[in-house]
């Protein structure tokens, strides 16, 4: 009997040793169990970032890690990622996902690494709650990505236009005078009456005033369409844009067109309601506007987020731990400050707002104003927003309706037609 017990103990110890060896073998195979083993991470990004420079810095600190950064345009980036994720091959080790696109990937949750499994809770308190929660699944037990930048909206205004309309030009006085949607309309009337210019550039911007502030827009969290039954604020946002247009307060300068860029340069409209990332575009593409634009807070009803991203880890990576360690380093508060200073990526880590370099930041283009403090204040007022898996497609139909209205279409007929198109799309 004693001999049998002894034999069993030997067998169990042997089995334990075998299992331990197997476990160590997986780490070795992935390159994450050995500090000196070479690891190459493919990192897909879009837009203007300083991530390539930061990747070089990380490589110096971690000589065994090589990071290949591939930069694409926003649309191409997400289409390529979606194709690779769907095919189950060809995805990178890490990828940025823009906030409007994120819900498109939720249905493929199993194609991503759950960052909670890698211990992401350890850094959760570094980020704004609404930004962090936006990357969770509905149950809150799966995290798609770590937060990069955010897009808190503020009000850019052209000081010459405001001065000619007998409106104040000091940022704090402007926010006092324009603190509600009604006061925004009053200011728009003054601008039109005194200068003949529109208050806002386009129907999309007028629509987004309310739209970006909605906690629920086109879908609820069960994926049900809301706009057809009046259970969301989308129609109110639509009506606000239609109302401004009917009064002549909306221009016809669609964003990113040459006409819009020229109007931005010359002060062809009074106000742009946009995030911090617009500053970089203005600096490079609207040189005559230098010193003419300022930034202040929007009315609370317009407080919203536009843009910003996450860094996710596709499940097919062989280096999930190494990818997580790099993304954690890349998106730390200290490196978010660098990304803000070098590329204008507005931090999602609020501790950055208390850093001296952030607080003492000044924008020469904006007459030396510290615009960052207005965006930081806006960031704290943003609600947690749910968009849904087909947000971009559905939103485009509403924008089409608004453009038709500006060209003479009947607002109610255009709305009903857009809702019908959206309902048909959802049946496919």
| Average pLDDT across the chain, whole number | 89
The answer, yes or no, to whether residue 310 has pLDDT greater than 90, is: yes
Q: Where are the domains of the chain?
A: 39-150+307-360, 151-306+369-427
pLDDT of residue 76: 94
pLDDT in tens, 162-177: 999 999 999 999 999 9
Q: Give mean pLDDT, residues 301-329.
A: 95
More confident residue, 284 or 120: 120
The 10 Å CB-count burial string (b at 16+, else e) for 193-224 is eebebbbbbbbbbbbbbbbbbbebbbbeeeee
Residue 7, pLDDT > 70, answer no
* Per-residue pLDDT tens digits for 59-84: 999 999 999 999 999 999 999 999 99
Contact 319, 62 (CB under 8 A): no
Asked if pLDDT for residue 106 goes beyond 80, the answer is yes
pLDDT, mean of residues 264-273:
96
Tell me what the mean pLDDT of segment 199-219 comes to: 92
Q: Is the pLDDT of residue 4 over 70?
A: no
Provide the pLDDT confidence category of residue 391 given band limits of 50, 70 and 90.
confident
pLDDT of amino acid 26:
38
Q: How confident is residue 35, by pLDDT bands cut at 50, 70 and 90? A: low
* The pLDDT value given to residue 71: 95
Between strands 145-158 and 271-275, the pairing is antiparallel
Per-residue model confidence (pLDDT) at position 383: 80
* Averaged pLDDT, 179-188: 97
pLDDT of residue 18: 39
- The answer to whether residues 333 and 146 touch, using CB atoms and an 8 Å cutoff, is no
Statement: residue 139 has pLDDT above 50? yes
pLDDT tens digit sequence for 210-226: 999 888 888 887 778 88
Answer yes or no: is pLDDT of 22 > 60: no
Rg value, the chain, Cα? 25
What pLDDT, in 10s, does the model give residues 329-372?
999 999 999 999 888 899 999 999 999 999 998 889 999 999 99
Residues in the chain: 428
DSSP structural state of residue 268: -
Domain 151-306+369-427: give its CATH superfamily.
Answer: Periplasmic binding protein-like II (3.40.190.10)
* Residue 32 scores a pLDDT above 60: no
- In the chain, % of residues over pLDDT 90: 71
Longest dimension (CA), the chain: 104
Nearest to 51 by CA among 358, 414, 327: 327
Question: Is the pLDDT at 24 greater than 90, yes or no?
Answer: no
Q: Sorting pLDDT into bands at 50, 70 and 90, what band is 30?
A: very low
Whether pLDDT at 29 is above 50: no
CATH of region 39-150+307-360, choose from 3.40.190.10, 3.40.50.300, 3.20.130.10, 3.90.1010.10: 3.40.190.10
Predicted TM-score of the model (pTM)? 0.79
Q: What share of the chain is helix, strand, coil (3-state, %, to 5)?
A: 55, 15, 30
Question: Which of the residue ranges 4-8, 73-77, 365-369, 386-390 would you say has the lowest mean pLDDT?
Answer: 4-8
In this structure, are residues 156 and 294 in contact, taking their beta carbons and an 8 Å threshold?
A: yes
- Does the pLDDT at position 384 exceed 90? no
Q: What mean pLDDT do residues 129-157 have?
A: 94
Model pLDDT, residue 274? 93
Domains 39-150+307-360 and 151-306+369-427 share a fold: yes
| Confidence check: pLDDT of 428 > 80 | no
């Amino acid at each position: 009997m004693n001999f049998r017990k002894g034999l069993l103990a030997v067998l169990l110890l042997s089995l334990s040793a075998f299992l331990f060896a197997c476990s160590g073998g997986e780490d070795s195979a992935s390159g994450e169990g050995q500090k000196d083993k070479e690891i190459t991470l493919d990192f897909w990004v879009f837009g203007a970032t300083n991530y390539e420079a930061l990747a070089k810095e990380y490589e110096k600190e971690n000589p065994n890690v090589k990071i290949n950064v591939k930069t694409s345009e926003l649309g191409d980036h997400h289409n390529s990622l979606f194709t690779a994720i769907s095919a189950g091959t060809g995805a990178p080790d890490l990828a940025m996902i823009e906030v409007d696109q994120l819900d498109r990937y939720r249905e493929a949750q199993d194609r991503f690494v759950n960052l909670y499994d890698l211990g992401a809770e350890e850094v959760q308190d570094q980020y704004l709650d609404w930004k962090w929660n936006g990357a969770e699944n509905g149950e809150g037990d799966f995290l798609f990505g770590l937060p990069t930048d955010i897009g808190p909206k503020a009000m850019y205004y052209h000081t010459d236009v405001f001065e000619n309309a007998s409106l104040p030009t000091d940022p704090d006085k402007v926010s006092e005078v324009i603190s509600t949607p009604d006061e925004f309309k009053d200011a728009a009337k003054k601008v039109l009456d005194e200068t003949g210019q529109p208050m806002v550039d386009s129907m999309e911007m007028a629509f987004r005033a309310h739209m970006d502030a909605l906690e629920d827009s086109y879908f609820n969290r069960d994926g049900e369409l809301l706009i057809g039954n009046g259970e969301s604020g989308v129609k109110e946002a639509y009506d606000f844009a239609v109302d401004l247009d009917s009064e002549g307060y909306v221009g016809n300068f669609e964003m990113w067109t040459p006409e819009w860029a020229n109007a931005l340069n010359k002060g062809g409209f009074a106000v742009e309601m946009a995030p911090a990332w617009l500053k970089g575009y203005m600096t490079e593409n609207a040189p005559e506007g230098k010193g003419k634009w300022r930034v202040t807070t929007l009315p609370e009803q317009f407080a919203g987020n536009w843009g910003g991203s996450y860094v996710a880890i596709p499940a097919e990576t062989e280096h999930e731990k190494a990818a997580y360690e790099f993304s954690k380093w890349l998106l730390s508060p200290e490196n978010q400050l660098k990304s803000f200073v070098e590329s204008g990526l507005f931090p999602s880590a609020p501790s950055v707002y208390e850093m001296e370099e952030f607080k003492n930041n000044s924008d020469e283009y904006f007459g030396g104003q510290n615009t960052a403090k207005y965006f930081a204040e806006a960031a704290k007022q943003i609600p947690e927003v749910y968009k849904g898996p087909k947000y971009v497609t559905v939103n485009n139909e509403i924008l089409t309706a608004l453009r038709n209205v500006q060209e003479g279409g009947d607002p109610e007929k255009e709305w009903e037609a857009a809702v019908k198109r959206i309902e048909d799309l959802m049946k496919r």
